[in-house]
Amino acid sequence: MRSYLYWSLLDNFEWSLGYEPKFGMVAVDRATFARHPKPSAYWFGAVARAQSLPGDGK
């Protein structure tokens, strides 16, 4: 793999589905707007620091 682009940093508004889908790396509390990293954010950070995917032998 040469590169990867994660679609969305924050859970956001989707025009056809509203706020229901939760696919960002950072969860947003809609009542307080507090932001909390999801496990995927930590995983992605580890991959970026290691510059390799887990188990690829690098």
State the DSSP string of 8-45: -SB---BTTTBT----SSEEE-TTT--EEE-HHHHHHH
The total number of structural domains in the chain stands at 1
Higher local confidence (pLDDT), 11 or 29: 29
Residue 58 lies in a domain: no
3 assigned to some structural domain = yes
Q: Considering the domain boundaries, does residue 56 fall inside one? A: no
Judged against a pLDDT cut of 80, whether residue 7 lies above it is answered with: no
Sequence letter at residue 9: L
Residue 55 reports pLDDT greater than 60: yes
C-alpha separations of 3 from 8, 20, 32, 47, 51 in Å: 16, 29, 34, 11, 10
Compare 2 and 46 and report the one with higher pLDDT. 46
pLDDT score of 56: 67
* Full domain range(s) for residue 45: 1-49
Q: Is the pLDDT of residue 57 over 70?
A: no
Asked if residue 54 is part of any domain, the answer here is no
Note whether residue 57 is domain-resident.
no
| Domain assignment present for 26 | yes
